[in-house]
């Protein structure tokens, strides 16, 4: 009976450095060859642990062999950069296609809630979701917010379930 190559992984995606445990579940094989998709990263072990330190997509290949018969299994590992979030300090919602919205600059975030306050401390806009942003209008009235300084409070959660809290000011320029 020819071998059947199979393996499981502890993680298929996450931030760098990402340590992945590869557990061999092949049937009918007596030798193994692993290629972790990173330059010269191979192994002949039955099970293996590998650390990905650079962001990117890596195709892992495991070949299970018995005498001259082989079978191959694959798994893609996605490594993102170290989670981070920052906020710009100015935006220009004038529909010129440049800086028209105020949004966080993020790597590896899974949830974001943003609130915008005017100088009197009134909440004028709120968004939720990693693709959310402020377009320079107030809600719920839909009025164009005048040029000036506004304040933001942003809470975010990254892929590792770490919470971030940011607050500061942003200059709206028209």
The last residue of a domain, from among 64, 80, 96:
80
Q: Are residue 58 and residue 91 in the same domain, yes or no?
A: no
Judgement on whether residues 161 and 130 belong to the same structural domain of the protein: yes
Flag whether 1 is in a domain.
no
- Domain range holding 52? 7-80
Paired tokens of 113: 């809630």
- Strand order of the sheet with strand 123-128? 90-91, 163-172, 148-158, 109-117, 123-128
Q: Please tell me the total count of domains within the chain.
A: 2
Listed in order, strand segments (DSSP E) in the chain are: 7-9, 13-15, 18-24, 31-35, 42-43, 48-52, 56-66, 69-80, 84-86, 90-91, 105-107, 109-117, 123-128, 148-158, 163-172
Query: Domain ends where: 60, 80, 100?
Result: 80
Are residues 112 and 46 located together in one domain of the fold?
Answer: no
In a domain, residue 2? The reply is no
Q: Tell me, what CATH number does 114's domain have?
A: 2.60.40.1220
| Residue 14, pLDDT score | 87
User: Are 26 and 88 within one domain?
Assistant: no
Say whether both 62 and 110 belong to one domain. no
pTM check: above 0.85: no
Give the pair of three-digit tokens for residue 157. 């959660």
Give the per-residue pLDDT at 7: 98
Encode pLDDT of 13-71 as tens digits: 988 889 999 999 999 999 999 999 987 799 999 999 999 999 999 999 999 999 999 99
94 and 166 assigned to the same domain: yes
**130 shares a domain with 108:** yes
Q: Domain ends where: 18, 51, 80? A: 80
- pLDDT mean over 68-80: 96
51: domain CATH number is 2.60.40.10
Say yes or no: 52 and 129 in one domain: no
């Amino acid at each position: 009976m020819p071998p059947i190559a199979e393996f499981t992984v502890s993680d298929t995606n996450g931030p760098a450095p990402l340590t992945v445990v590869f557990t061999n579940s092949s049937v009918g094989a007596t030798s193994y060859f692993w290629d972790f998709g990173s330059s010269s990263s191979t192994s002949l072990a039955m099970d293996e642990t590998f650390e990905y330190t650079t962001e990117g997509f890596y195709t892992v290949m495991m070949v299970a062999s018995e005498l001259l018969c082989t079978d191959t299994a694959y798994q893609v590992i996605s490594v993102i950069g170290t989670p981070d979030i920052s906020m710009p300090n100015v935006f220009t919602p004038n529909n010129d296609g440049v800086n028209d919205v105020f949004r966080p600059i993020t790597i590896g975030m899974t949830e974001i809630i943003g609130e915008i306050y005017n100088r009197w401390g009134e909440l004028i806009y709120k968004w939720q979701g990693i693709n959310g942003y402020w377009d320079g209008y107030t809600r719920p009235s839909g009025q164009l917010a005048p040029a000036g300084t506004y304040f933001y409070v942003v809470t975010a959660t990254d892929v590792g379930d770490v919470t971030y809290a940011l607050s500061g000011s942003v200059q709206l320029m028209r």
